[in-house]
């Protein structure tokens, strides 16, 4: 196929103009005619019986239109979980109801007890304060490992030991134990991968309306996947007809996973809009976001890695308790299992691996996918073990990795790599990224500087992380076999207008990723037309056929491939039209640089003319339909497997324990790159979210289940002055199984960066004689200081 060189170019983003001039259109910017506003009455307790809810006084307040409680929704379903995981013994996971409003008891702080709808938000707020709720506080459980102990309070009365499921993957445990027993050295790490709050800067917002004449609902939602929300809400929660529901996700201000899930408020507002016959809007306040947007991570893990005398890894054994929070959020069950356990091969030839996961309910905010989702947890575990093992065995961490890397394979000449944990990697050159990283760093110099610093009483450390992830989610047949209750294909519809301009409808959703630019680059390149002649449409279930949305770094690998399929159909049909015009056989027509040409001649016709002919078919092949408009669905053959190498150099202040990042080198291989500027931007942002986990962030619950840092004043996120400029580079190992050869770049940075930072801090401490194995993230000055001085 032809190209005009748009693929691979750092084209400036077409969507920027509206954002830099203040003309973005986010859900909270929308006010509909006869708009009403909702405010929730929420539980202040982590675990409490609801004795009574009295709304009588509130109903009399000015402007109040309606108040609903759990009793009004007794016959309505809860929001579903989209992935079924089975117990080791084959039993189905425990999947208690997640109601839209709780009637019996609250299971985490923020659980919704009543919704108050009024003419203004202020009136709704006043009335919500007048709702009287009598509650009886119950003992609560916060920690996943404690929740499974006998006698722990039960979050759901019908879920024994708070266990949603237990799960294992890999080689039989006996084989792993035997290999571990034979190991010359075993490195053990027991650690917490702490709970994070995603914190997209745009709070979640919904605005739902109902038209009694057409009997049609319209929901504006700050979602990463509007069609998925429509499907779940119609089919599983409200039982309303899908063709009578339009879901629109306009501009969305960041998601990072937290806006994938179908939240109770979406369905409840939609239900309410019909009850009152007016549009209902709710926008989360920041503290509500902290209490309700699904959190990420929260694993308690013991991991052991065995090495032979030469430093080759011989076995890996992992036991994890995953905290699910109070309810199963949409994809929560697959995160600690199929997105975590399956990544424990890492980049290494480890022959024996076993992972065991127990997933537990607690009286906390539900936990689900947050940027990386399971893969950062897997990478953190592996990469911490490797750097620690190098320290313990007095080996060089880079050398130790070279010794254990899977050798390069392109997935075409050499087959994909079959792991011990169910996946088959597509293509990889793992030593390549580390070599490049070491060169960029000037490794020998940095180690020399570290030694000099140590001689001068300063603590400098170098930390490595060589990661892999599985994204481009996902082949439907494979995820279906693993319990996913949805297909994970994508749709791509290309409509050539009569004048040759092109509208593209994609089921992917951009909330910062820049699809309006990258997808347009792909289409313009393949059709040989100007970028300006392509418009990307997304986020509206009435204009886009279907879509699974954007998460798991899937948009280009899956959504882009669907568009390519439609483009191929357009060129195929275009050839027939051109052949008829040029009085040649379609087989003799070539398409290049926007022109259809008879092979070996100068007879040609332009793309625009062919488009016009398709819609004005006066002189036209007999058996061909008019029009030039194709829709395709693409279901990937495999996951894609980006990988990379992140290296951090830090200095630890001896007096205060403060960590400063001196350098951060990232070499990422995300396959072919459509727009290097956008990919680099994704890496920067991803890296900083990983740095945030390593040094700053963490949800802190007190023993009563109160989230004690539920505001931006209390929850520490990276700010501009906490960070250095980054040194980034890319390597390209194309994906062998999708037409663009792309792998995905959205999560890579977050997956790779956190262990590099923590490893660097640990290395710095060892350089000063403090042989510390682990410091609990985030590595605040206080924790680092305590680790040095204990």
From the list 63-71, 542-550, 615-623, 711-719, the region that binds another protein by CB under 8 A is 711-719
Which residues from 475-514 bind another protein, rule CB under 8 A? 511-514
Footprint of another protein on 512-541 (CB under 8 A): 512-514
Contacts of 754 (CB under 8 A, 6+ apart): 376, 379, 380, 465, 690, 691, 693, 694, 777
Site for another protein (CB under 8 A): how many residues? 73
From the CB of 483, what's the least distance to another protein, in Å? 31
Q: In the range 156-215, which residues lie near another protein by CB under 8 A?
A: 199-203
Q: Please report which helix (H) or strand (E) contains residue 538, including its range.
A: strand 534-538
CB 110 → another protein: shortest distance, Å? Answer: 9
Burial class (CB in 10 A: 0-12, 13-18, 19+), 617: middle
Helical (H) or strand (E) element with 72: none
The verdict on 681 binding another protein (CB under 8 A) reads: yes
For another protein, the closer of residues 469 and 680 by Cβ is: 680
- Residue from the set 142, 180, 196, 252 that interacts with another protein by CB under 8 A: 252
Nearer to another protein, 128 or 238 (CB): 128
Instruction: Tell me which stretch binds another protein (CB under 8 A): 252-260, 356-364, 528-536, 569-577.
Output: 252-260
- 721 near another protein, judged by CB under 8 A: yes
Q: Which of 713, 769, 789, 790 binds another protein (CB under 8 A)?
A: 713
Residues 733-772 touching another protein, rule: CB under 8 A, are: 749
Which of 8, 153, 250, 254 binds another protein (CB under 8 A)? It is 254
Q: For residue 699, which of 259, 248, 198 has the smallest C-alpha distance?
A: 198
Spatial neighbors of 308 by CB under 8 A, at least 6 apart, are 182, 183, 184, 314
Among 271, 417, 443, 726, binds another protein (CB under 8 A): 726
Three-state SS letters, 652-695: ECCCCCCEEEEEEEEEEECECCCCHHHHHHHHHHHHHHHHHHHH
Which lies closer to another protein via its Cβ, residue 46 or residue 468? 46
Q: Considering only CA atoms, which of 379, 362, 267 is closest in space to residue 322? A: 362
Interface of this chain with another protein, residues 686 to 705, rule: CB under 8 A: 686-689, 702, 704
The answer to whether 519 and 711 are in contact (CB under 8 A) is no
Please report whether residue 136 would count as binding another protein according to CB under 8 A: no
Site for another protein in 275-334 (CB under 8 A): 283, 285-287, 290-291
Residue of the chain from 53, 58, 67, 109 that contacts another protein (CB under 8 A):
109
- Name 313's bridge partners: 307
- Nearest partner of 433 among 405, 462, 466, 404, judged by Cα: 466
- Identity of the residue, 37 or 210, whose beta carbon is nearer to another protein in the bound complex: 37
DSSP state of 559: I
111 is an interface residue for another protein by CB under 8 A: no
Which of 259, 526 has the CB closer to another protein? 259
User: Across the strands, what pairs with 538?
Assistant: 506
Nearer to another protein by Cβ, of 418 and 660: the residue is 660
Closest distance between another protein and the C-beta of residue 199, in Å? Answer: 6
Give 725: exposed, middle or buried? Use CB within 10 Å, 0-12, 13-18, 19+.
Answer: exposed
Q: How far apart are CA 556 and CA 675, in angstroms?
A: 11
| Residue 719 touching another protein (CB under 8 A) | yes
**In angstroms, what is the C-alpha Rg of the chain?**
27
Bridge partners (DSSP) listed for residue 356: 168, 319
Residue 685, interface with another protein (CB under 8 A)?
Answer: yes
Site track 331-370 with another protein (rule: CB under 8 A), x = hit: ----------------------------------------
Closest contact distance (angstroms) between CB of 192 and another protein is: 20
d(CA 565, CA 576): 17
Q: Binder to another protein among 1, 17, 74, 624 (CB under 8 A)?
A: 17
Contact 750, 689 (CB under 8 A): yes
Give the SS3 label for residue 703.
Answer: coil
219-248 positions binding another protein, by CB under 8 A: none
Cβ closest to another protein, residue 582 vs residue 678: 678
Cα torsion angle, 650, 651, 657, 658, sign: negative
Residue 723 is a binding residue for another protein (CB under 8 A):
yes
Q: Which two tokens stand for residue 587?
A: 């087989």
Q: By CB under 8 A, which span of 312-320, 326-334, 645-653, 722-730 interacts with another protein?
A: 722-730
Which residue in the set 253, 279, 437, 463 belongs to the binding site for another protein (CB under 8 A)?
253
Q: Which is nearer to another protein, 295 or 575 (CB)?
A: 295
For 181-244, strand residue ranges (E) read 185-196, 205-211, 216-221
Question: Residue 578 in contact with residue 605, Cβ under 8 Å?
Answer: yes
**541-545-550-555 Cα dihedral, nearest 10 degrees:** -150
Contact status: 677 vs another protein (CB under 8 A): yes
Are the beta carbons of 536 and 516 closer than 8 angstroms? yes
Binding segment for another protein (CB under 8 A), chosen from 249-257, 550-558, 588-596, 604-612, is 249-257
The residue among 72 and 680 lying less far from another protein, judged by its C-beta, is 680
Name the residue nearer to another protein (CB basis): 128 or 788.
128
CB 28, min distance to another protein, A: 7
Q: Which two tokens stand for residue 10?
A: 């750092």
Please, which residue, 641 or 726, has the CB nearer to another protein? 726
Q: 220: which strand partners?
A: 207, 248
Residue 740, both tokens: 């663009």
User: What kind and span of H or E run contains 278?
Assistant: none
- Which run of H or of E encompasses 729? strand 727-730
Strand 659-669 with 643-652, pairing: antiparallel
Q: Does 440 bind another protein (CB under 8 A)?
A: no
Q: Which residue in the set 13, 227, 509, 515 belongs to the binding site for another protein (CB under 8 A)?
A: 13
For position 709 contacting another protein by CB under 8 A, the verdict is yes
| 3-state SS track over 451-480 | HHHHHCCCEEEEEEEEEECCECCCCHHHHH
Counting contacts by CB under 8 A, is residue 24 touching another protein? yes
Is 710 a binding residue for another protein by CB under 8 A? The answer is yes
Nearer to another protein, 253 or 559 (CB): 253
Least spacing, CB of residue 569 vs another protein, in Å: 32
C-alpha 327/C-alpha 359 separation (Å) is: 11
Asked if 49 touches another protein (CB under 8 A), the answer is: no
Q: Could you tell me the smallest distance in angstroms from the CB atom of residue 442 to another protein?
A: 21
CB nearer to another protein: pick between 193 and 750:
750
Give min distance, CB of 693 to another protein, in A.
13
- Per CB under 8 A, the segment of 13-21, 426-434, 453-461, 577-585 that binds another protein is 13-21
Indicate the residue among 199 and 640 with the shorter CB distance to another protein: 199
- Residue 19 beta carbon to another protein: minimum distance, rounded to whole angstroms: 3
**Residue 93 and residue 80 in contact, taking contact as beta carbons nearer than 8 Å:** no
Is the torsion defined by CA of 759, 765, 768, 773 positive or negative?
negative
Q: Which stretch binds another protein (CB under 8 A): 309-317, 347-355, 683-691, 769-777?
A: 683-691
CB of 131 to another protein, least distance (A): 11
CB nearer another protein, residue 204 or residue 554: 204
User: 192: Cβ–Cβ under 8 A, 6 or more apart, which residues?
Assistant: 299, 300, 301, 776, 777
DSSP H or E stretch at residue 617: none
Q: What angle do CA 231, 236, 241 make, to 5 degrees?
A: 60
């Amino acid at each position: 196929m032809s190209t005009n060189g748009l693929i691979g170019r750092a084209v400036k983003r077409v969507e920027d103009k509206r954002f830099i001039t203040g003309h973005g259109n986010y859900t909270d910017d929308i006010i509909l005619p006869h708009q009403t506003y909702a405010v929730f009455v929420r539980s202040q307790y982590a675990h409490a019986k609801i004795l009574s809810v009295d709304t009588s006084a509130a109903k009399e307040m000015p402007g109040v239109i309606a108040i609903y409680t759990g009793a009004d929704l007794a016959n309505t379903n809860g929001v579903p979980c989209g992935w079924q995981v089975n117990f080791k013994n084959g039993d189905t996971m425990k999947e208690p109801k997640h109601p839209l409003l709780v009637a019996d008891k609250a299971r985490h702080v923020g659980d919704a007890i009543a919704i108050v709808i009024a003419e203004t938000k202020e009136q709704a707020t006043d009335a919500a304060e007048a709702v009287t709720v009598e509650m009886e506080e119950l003992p609560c459980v916060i920690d996943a490992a404690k929740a499974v102990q006998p006698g722990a309070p039960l979050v759901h009365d019908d879920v024994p030991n708070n266990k949603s499921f237990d799960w294992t993957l890999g080689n039989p445990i006996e084989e792993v134990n035997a290999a571990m027993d034979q190991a010359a050295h075993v490195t053990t790490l027991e650690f917490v991968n702490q709970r994070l709050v995603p914190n997209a800067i745009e709070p979640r917002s919904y605005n739902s309306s109902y038209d009694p004449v057409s009997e049609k609902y319209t929901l504006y939602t700050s979602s990463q996947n509007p069609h998925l929300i429509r499907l779940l809400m119609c089919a599983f929660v409200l039982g309303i007809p899908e063709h009578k529901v339009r879901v629109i996700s306009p501009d969305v201000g960041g998601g990072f996973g937290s806006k994938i899930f179908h939240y109770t408020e979406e369905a409840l507002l939609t239900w309410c809009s019909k009850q009152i016959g007016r549009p209902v809007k709710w926008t989360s306040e920041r503290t509500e976001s902290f209490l309700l947007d699904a959190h990420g991570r929260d694993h308690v893990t013991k991991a052991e890695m065995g090495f032979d005398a030469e430093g080759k890894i011989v076995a890996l054994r992992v036991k994890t308790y995953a905290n699910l929070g109070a309810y199963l959020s949409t994809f929560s069950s697959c995160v600690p299992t199929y997105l975590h356990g399956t990544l424990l091969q890492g980049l290494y030839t480890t022959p024996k691996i076993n992972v065991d996961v127990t997933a537990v309910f607690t009286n906390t905010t539900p936990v689900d996918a947050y940027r990386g989702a399971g893969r950062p947890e897997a990478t953190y575990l592996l990469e911490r073990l490797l750097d620690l093992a190098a320290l313990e065995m007095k080996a060089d961490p880079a050398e130790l990795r070279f010794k254990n890397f899977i050798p390069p394979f392109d997935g075409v000449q050499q087959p994909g790599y079959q792991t011990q944990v169910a996946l088959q990697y597509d293509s990889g050159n793992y030593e390549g990224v580390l070599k490049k990283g070491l060169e960029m760093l000037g490794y020998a110099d940095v180690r020399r500087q570290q030694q000099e610093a140590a001689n001068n009483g300063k603590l400098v450390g170098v930390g490595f992380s060589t990661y892999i992830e599985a994204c481009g989610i996902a082949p439907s047949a494979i995820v279906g076999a693993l319990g996913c209750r949805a297909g994970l294909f994508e749709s791509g519809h290309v409509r050539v207008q009569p004048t040759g301009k092109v509208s593209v409808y994609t089921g992917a959703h951009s909330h910062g990723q820049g699809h309006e630019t990258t997808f347009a680059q792909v289409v313009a390149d393949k059709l040989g037309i100007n970028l300006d002649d392509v418009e990307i449409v997304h986020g509206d279930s009435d204009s886009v056929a279907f879509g699974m949305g954007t998460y798991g770094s899937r948009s280009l690998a899956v959504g882009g491939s669907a568009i390519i399929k439609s483009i191929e159909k357009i060129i195929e049909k275009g050839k027939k039209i051109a052949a008829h015009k040029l009085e040649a056989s379609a087989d003799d027509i070539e398409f290049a640089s926007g022109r259809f040409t008879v092979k070996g001649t100068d007879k040609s016709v332009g793309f625009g003319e062919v488009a016009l002919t398709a819609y004005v078919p006066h002189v036209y092949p007999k058996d061909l339909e008019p029009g030039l408009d194709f829709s395709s669905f693409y279901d990937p053959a495999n996951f894609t497997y980006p990988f990379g190498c992140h290296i951090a150099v830090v200095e630890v202040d001896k007096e205060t324990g403060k960590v400063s990042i001196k350098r951060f080198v990232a070499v990422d291989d995300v396959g072919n790159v459509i727009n290097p500027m956008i990919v680099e931007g994704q890496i920067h942002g991803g890296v900083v979210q990983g740095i945030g986990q390593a040094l700053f962030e963490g949800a802190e619950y007190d023993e009563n289940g109160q989230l004690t840092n539920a505001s931006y004043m209390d929850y520490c996120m990276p700010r501009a002055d906490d960070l250095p400029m980054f040194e980034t580079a890319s390597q390209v190992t194309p994906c062998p199984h999708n037409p663009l050869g792309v792998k995905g770049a959205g999560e890579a940075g977050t997956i790779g960066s956190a262990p590099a930072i923590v490893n660097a801090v640990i290395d710095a401490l060892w350089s000063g004689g403090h042989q510390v194995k682990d410091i609990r993230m985030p590595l605040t000055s206080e924790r680092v200081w305590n680790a040095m001085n204990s």
